[in-house]
Amino acid sequence: MKTQVAIIGGGPSGLLLSQLLRKNGIDSVILERQTKDHVLSRIRAGVLERGLAALLKEAGCGARLEREGFIHKGTVLSFEDTQIGITFADHVDADVVVYGQTEVTRDLYEAHTAGNGKIEFKVKDVEIHDAKSETPYITYMAEGSARRIDCDFIAGCDGFHGVSRNTIPSNVREEFEKVYPFGWLGILSETPPVDDELIYASSPHGFALCSMRNANLSRYYIQCDSDDKVENWSDDAFWKELKRRIPQEAAQKLVTGPSIEKSIAPLRSFVCEPMQWGRLFLCGDAAHIVPPTGAKGLNTAASDVNYLYRALVQFYNKGDESSLKKYSETALARVWKAERFSWWMTSLLHRFPDQSPFDLKMQQAEIEFLRTSTAAQSVLAQNYVGLPY
């Protein structure tokens, strides 16, 4: 098989890249190691920056987002008895949309199918060859037979555990990582959201987040030990702990119910440099991971897709390879800003097991500065809605 761009990974990043390329007459093939149903079963955050929302519309996948997405014009941060309401319009001409990542992926799959896009599921033993040459290719197994794709370029959208990043020689790539000493226990429940906006809550008992998917589907999280287990938490225990971490006003009106999904996510910050090697380009979790505080994971992957897709269009339409050569530099400049914001939000809102009295005072001083400084609130708002591409 031959294509112009071979994409490893059939999640939202790979699908969005394929769809944007197809809109510009560029052929691609996606390789996905799981089934479509498995990909759609993943429960992930759903706060979409302005940039991602615009990309979905550009890809022809924004109709349901516009109909069903929850526009959020601000957010609330609470610190024990102190609440800081930040209205985005006071600081930046933009907002965010709450729309589940599963729904984004479903919309992209529907568009991919409607456009006769090429995708192979349940592929195994994927290997990237000759990425430094002008004729790279991929070998893999599918349906019990060995296969090969020859291509001009390869996009590695296959996540942290995929093959793409490790194809870059270890003496070429440098990896930066911070592992946080806690995780997030999250539940999904068929209950109305406790508030119109997201609530990020810091308390002596730890962090909590009140989010939602729609008017009757809520997503809640609490900070937990990094070695905790889902089995240790009944629904009643979760709701009790959530109530003592969020503002009293919110706790009193919280509607509880049976969980329909419950999981624990570890928290880490990770970046791989460079994000390209020859004609192999990394996108999303293959190159970087952020803690979920601030909802930058999918959004940062989308910014990678934006830079790569536009660079590929420039190459195929104008024969200009300059943006492709600068892809890693361009993408990483924005990645590190998203990493900084996610790290800052995580540091501000969580209680750390080794936190000293001095550390706690510094955290409290940072909170007070945010409460009283319009400039600090403006910085948060600009980062939250998404820095421009």
Tell me which of 109, 180, 200, 316 is the catalytic residue. Answer: 200
Cβ pair 104, 48 in contact under 8 A: yes
The length of the chain is 389
Cα-to-chain-centroid distance, residue 252: 31
- Is 292 annotated in the active site? yes
DSSP category for residue 350: P
pLDDT (tens, 9 = 90+) of the chain, 389 residues, equals: 999 999 999 999 999 999 999 999 999 999 999 998 888 887 666 899 999 999 999 999 999 999 999 899 999 999 987 899 999 999 999 999 999 888 999 999 999 999 999 999 999 999 999 999 999 999 999 999 999 999 999 999 999 999 999 999 999 999 999 999 999 999 999 999 999 889 999 999 999 999 988 888 899 999 999 999 999 999 999 999 999 999 999 999 999 999 999 999 999 999 999 999 999 999 999 999 999 998 999 999 999 999 999 999 999 999 999 999 999 999 999 999 999 999 999 999 999 999 999 999 999 999 999 999 999 999 999 999 999 99
- Is 296 annotated in the active site? yes
Q: What is the CA radius of gyration of the chain?
A: 21
Tell me which of 292, 309, 316, 350 is the catalytic residue. Answer: 292
* Sheet (strand 96-98) strand order: 47-48, 96-98, 70-72
Nearest C-alpha neighbor of 210 from the set 344, 343, 75, 83: 75
CA distance 101 to 305: 16
- Is 200 annotated in the active site? yes
Across the chain, where does the E strand assignment appear? 5-8, 28-31, 47-48, 70-72, 74-79, 82-87, 96-98, 118-120, 124-129, 137-142, 145-150, 153-156, 174-189, 199-203, 206-214, 217-225, 259-273, 276-277, 280-282, 288-289
Instruction: Tell me, yes or no, if the two domains 5-72+95-177+268-347 and 180-267+352-385 fold the same way.
Output: no
CATH class for the region spanning 5-72+95-177+268-347: alpha beta
Q: pLDDT tens digits for 155-190?
A: 999 999 999 999 999 999 999 999 999 999 999 999
Tell me which of 112, 118, 288, 296 is the catalytic residue. Answer: 296
* Helices and strands per DSSP (H, E), number in the chain: 13, 20
Question: Residue 183 pairs with which residues in a beta bridge?
Answer: 224, 266
- Is 205 annotated in the active site? no
CA distance 380 to 89: 12
Strand, coil or helix: 72: strand
List the domain boundaries for the chain.
5-72+95-177+268-347, 180-267+352-385
Q: pLDDT tens digits for 234-282?
A: 999 999 999 999 999 999 999 999 999 999 999 999 999 999 999 999 9
Question: 284: phi > 0 → left, psi -120 to 50 → alpha, else beta; which?
Answer: left
Q: Tokens 């995780």 sit at which residue?
A: 183
180-267+352-385 is classed CATH 3.30.9.10: yes
- Is 350 annotated in the active site? no
How many CB atoms lie under 10 A from the CB of residue 369? 12
Tell me which of 221, 307, 309, 384 is the catalytic residue. Answer: 384
Tell me which of 72, 118, 288, 350 is the catalytic residue. Answer: 72
